[in-house]
């Protein structure tokens, strides 16, 4: 695939030193205006970060709420403690960006918002927690979840960066990190005695991780073949 053309006829200088209007010879051409003005870029960035924050908040709230649905059976609470989705989230939002710093910040924003959503539902009336217990319950919850909070602060920008590297160069390191996080979590939990029932949840996670690895392998090989063909 060739490089996109960055200029149009309207951008070419005329012999008189002006610009050629693609519509008429009188007045400025509206088609020659740049759409990537600082104002439009700033607005787009705000929308992107807002979307990441909303997605993260909904993700965290849904994860916590799923764990509270005892009527669905033990699988619901087990799914809610799976850690891999909290790594896939910043990877996915980071993969929407081509700049590494923005991808890291976007991944961080998504995970912080997810934690906020998780905590908000945990101490909400939906969990039979009166609002009068705020903020003492929130402080106690953050203390109890401090290892997970710190881990999220560290892994969020890292996996956001891995997502950006996967998008821009199909990095094998990114592919291995994400696929391993999904496939190997059950083995890691088994090693520390935290592989809770039902076991089918973990089997499904391994299968999903294998499918993800197959996608990464195919996409990475295809990308490199295209590079060799175009060079």
Domain membership flag for residue 204: yes
Q: What is the pLDDT of residues 126-179, one digit of tens each?
A: 777 887 778 888 899 899 999 999 999 999 999 999 999 999 999 999 999 999
Domain membership flag for residue 161: yes
Domain membership flag for residue 30: no
Three-class secondary structure of residue 88 per DSSP: helix
- CA separation (Å) from 169 to 78, 96, 98, 227? 35, 13, 10, 10
Q: What is the pLDDT of residues 177-217, one digit of tens each?
A: 999 999 999 999 999 999 999 999 999 999 999 999 999 99
C-alpha to C-alpha distance for 79 and 197, rounded to whole angstroms: 10
Structure tokens that stand for 178 in this block: 């994400």
Q: What is the mean pLDDT of the chain?
A: 86
Residue 150 belongs to domain spanning: 39-230
pLDDT category of residue 36 using cuts at 50, 70 and 90: low
The mean pLDDT value for 58-87 works out to 94
How many domains would you assign to the chain? 1
Predicted confidence at residue 37, as pLDDT, reads 81
> What share of residues in the chain are helix, strand, coil (percent, to 5)?
75, 0, 25
Tracing tokens 């390191």 back to the chain, one arrives at 173
Domain membership flag for residue 15: no
């Amino acid at each position: 695939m060739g490089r996109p053309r960055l200029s149009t006829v309207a951008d070419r200088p005329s012999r008189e030193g002006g610009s050629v209007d693609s519509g008429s010879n009188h007045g400025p051409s509206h088609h020659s205006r740049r759409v990537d003005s600082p104002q439009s870029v700033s607005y787009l960035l705000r929308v992107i970060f807002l979307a990441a924050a909303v997605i993260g908040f909904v993700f965290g709230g849904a994860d916590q709420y799923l764990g509270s649905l005892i009527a669905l059976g033990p699988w619901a609470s087990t799914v809610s403690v799976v850690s891999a989705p909290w790594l896939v989230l910043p990877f996915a939002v980071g993969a929407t960006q081509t700049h590494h710093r923005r991808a890291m910040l976007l991944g961080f924003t998504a995970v912080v918002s997810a934690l906020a959503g998780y905590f908000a539902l945990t101490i909400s009336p939906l969990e039979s927690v009166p609002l009068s217990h705020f903020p003492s319950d929130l402080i106690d919850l953050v203390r109890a979840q401090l290892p997970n909070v710190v881990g999220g602060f560290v892994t969020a920008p890292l996996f956001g960066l891995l997502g950006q590297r996967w998008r821009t160069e199909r990095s094998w390191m990114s592919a291995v990190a994400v696929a391993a996080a999904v496939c190997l979590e059950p083995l890691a939990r088994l090693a520390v005695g935290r592989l809770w029932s039902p076991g089918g949840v973990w089997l499904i996670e391994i299968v999903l991780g294998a499918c993800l690895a197959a996608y990464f392998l195919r996409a990475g090989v295809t990308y490199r073949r295209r590079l060799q063909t175009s060079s």
